[in-house]
Amino acid sequence: MTGTGGTAPATYSPSPTTHKNKASLFQQDWVRPDGRGFHQCRPAFFRTGAVNAASGSAYAEFGNTKVIVSVFGPRESKKAMMYSDIGRLNCNVSYTTFASPVRGQGSDHKEYTAMLHKALEGAIILESFPKTTVDVFALVLESGGSDLPVVISCASLALADAGIMMYDLVASVSVSCLSKNLVIDPVFEEENSQDGSLMITCMPSRYEITQLTVTGEWSTPKINEGMQLCLDACAKLAKIMRSCLKEAASDSQE
Amino acid sequence: MVGLSLGEQHFIQGGISQDLRCDGRKRLTFRPIHVETGVIPQANGSARVRMGATDVIASVKAELGKPSFLQPNKGKVSIHIDCSSTAEPAFEGRGGDELSSELSNALQSCLLGGKSGEGAGIDLSSLIVIEGKICWDLYIDGLVVSSDGNLLDALGAAIKAALSNTGIPRVQVAVGESSDDQPEVDVSDEEFLQFDTSGIPVIVTLTKVGRHYIVDATSEEESQMSSAISFSVNRQGHICGITKRGGAGMDPSIILDMVSVAKHVSEQLINKLDSEIASAEAEDQE
């Protein structure tokens, strides 16, 4: 785009897509951009073994949210760390610069690393790898909404692929509150105009919640409803994750 | 923190299951809360809260700034917590960073609501001076001076007290000028507007030890916890935020039970805090 005589920097960015001024009028009968029902999750795609160099890895794609996670370890803890007779978990979540519509804007998600750590540490049997560290590195390739739940589910699949002992797979789903409606597995637009969000991470076979984050104002019956929705969705997600692992295992046997 | 021997651990756990904690409290009783306001003269608002040996200070500074592009009719609030090394030697340098960012994130999600700004405890639209151009930016800073457990509740209470102590200077806007120039504002040194804090939630942390939950855990009791959930409840009894600490898994029915216990406990806490803040403000004015 040749603009004014060479003074403008040579980058082109498309005009910001749909700068709707928070269409709060439409939220009463909100139609989801991808045509899903309010209580319908996006179709999930998982594949393990995405990164050959890692001990275990997984790739997950939920609509427009694409995440890749690699697991390294158990490997020797840094010499500076104190002796520990249980293993250590080290997590990191980072965004690529092209993950969000505006370049480089994903950097305000520093708390995702701590949340991933909290979600996984309850599920991993740390006693099985004393003195060593397991590293989990997550990279969000494209952020299409509901990023952290996808990262957590993908990370637990990568840990299973790496052979790290766990009590159960960890599945995670979030629910957004748009005025009066509860919308499961929100997309980017829905997340930006949400009134509240509830994210649950659970171990479906044990029916235990490892992590729970709620923002916004919720009344008790709403929390009830949100939790039930999430737990049902997590159970179904866990089945998909299991079948992905079984396929990978049977492929490698051939 | 000094390690606990096996005998001491059993003593704490046994006491909690029999509704008799080490300092004689029942499971759902808070330690006495002392609130002082106006402790930092240069800040727009400040407060110091003591719960037993836990001592935290919160300060609020207001500066003029530009509102965010996505929400031109709301001011901005940023919350930052610092764990001082006077609290624990482990907090020196980078050591306290992890705990500080965990506390900051928890407070931000409890007090600032969802992304659209709904459900925020603080009314951000009262911070606007000229829509789209000038707004007040509130910088809320918390400092942990001494740590004996239950930091999140103490910080939440301190922030609530500091905000009720906050005076936003009155701003005179010069009329006229073309609409795209930066308007002239005259910040008054004398007159102040008090901030409306009736909507600010309180934070109640329920710590699960064995099969029972306790409120306001000391750091010894926290070392025995399996997990802790912090609930932010406002005056209407609505939950404004939930964060879980600790990795152990929990049955969903237990979490729902904790929600009702938190709501019940928060009523007493809100009343207690309000009366403490009112008496602190009254003393401050003398």
Q: What is the C-alpha to C-alpha distance for residues B283 and B286, in angstroms, rounded to an integer?
A: 5
- Single pTM value for the model: 0.86
- Residue B172 has a pLDDT of 77
| Chain A residue with minimum CA distance to B247 | A122
What residues in A contact B243, CB-CB < 8 Å?
A: 212-214
Per-residue pLDDT, averaged over A125-133, amounts to: 91
- Residue A82 has a pLDDT of 80
Q: What is the C-alpha to C-alpha distance for residues A31 and A248, in angstroms, rounded to an integer?
A: 37
b/e string for B222-247 if b means 16 or more Cβ within 10 A?
bbbbebbbbbbbbbeebbbbbbbbbb
Write the residue in B242, B245, B246 that is nearest to A214 by C-beta.
Answer: B242
- Whether residue A213 and residue B256 make contact (CB cut-off 8 A), yes or no, is no
Min Cα–Cα distance to chain B from A118, Å: 6
pLDDT band at A13 (very low <50, low <70, confident <90, very high): low
- Whether residue A217 and residue B102 make contact (CB cut-off 8 A), yes or no, is no
Please determine, for residue B179, whether its predicted confidence score (pLDDT) is greater than 60: no
- Residue A78 has a pLDDT of 81
Per-residue pLDDT, averaged over B161-189, amounts to: 72
Q: Which residue has the higher pLDDT, A83 or B214?
A: B214
What residues in B contact A191, CB-CB < 8 Å?
A: 115
pLDDT band at A18 (very low <50, low <70, confident <90, very high): very low
Please determine, for residue B157, whether its predicted confidence score (pLDDT) is greater than 90: yes
pLDDT band at B166 (very low <50, low <70, confident <90, very high): confident
Min Cα–Cα distance to chain B from A117, Å: 9
- Whether residue B249 and residue A209 make contact (CB cut-off 8 A), yes or no, is yes
The contacts of residue A241 (CB under 8 Å, 6+ apart) are A46, A153, A156, A157, A169, A171
Minimum mean pLDDT range among A5-9, A80-84, B264-268: A5-9
- Residue B261 has a pLDDT of 92
pLDDT, tens digit (0-9, with 9 covering 90-100), for A170-182:
999 999 988 888 9
Please determine, for residue B119, whether its predicted confidence score (pLDDT) is greater than 70: no
Minimum mean pLDDT range among A185-199, B7-21, B117-131, B147-161: B117-131
Nearest to A137 by CA among A167, A95, A109, A170: A95
pLDDT, tens digit (0-9, with 9 covering 90-100), for A73-112:
899 888 777 888 889 999 999 999 888 887 776 656 778 9
- Whether residue B248 and residue A122 make contact (CB cut-off 8 A), yes or no, is yes
Question: CB distance from B113 to chain A under 8 Å?
Answer: yes
pLDDT, tens digit (0-9, with 9 covering 90-100), for B53-80:
999 999 999 888 888 777 777 888 889 9
What residues in B contact A231, CB-CB < 8 Å?
A: 252
- Best mutation site among B101, B103, B108, B118 for testing chain A: the one with the most A CBs within 10 Å? B118
- Whether residue B252 and residue A207 make contact (CB cut-off 8 A), yes or no, is yes
- Residue A9 has a pLDDT of 59
pLDDT band at B114 (very low <50, low <70, confident <90, very high): low
Write the residue in B70, B110, B247 that is nearest to A210 by C-beta.
Answer: B247
Scanning B213-272 for CB atoms below 8 A from A yields: 229, 234, 237-252, 255-256, 259-260, 263
- The mean of the pLDDT values for chain B is 85
- Residue A25 has a pLDDT of 46
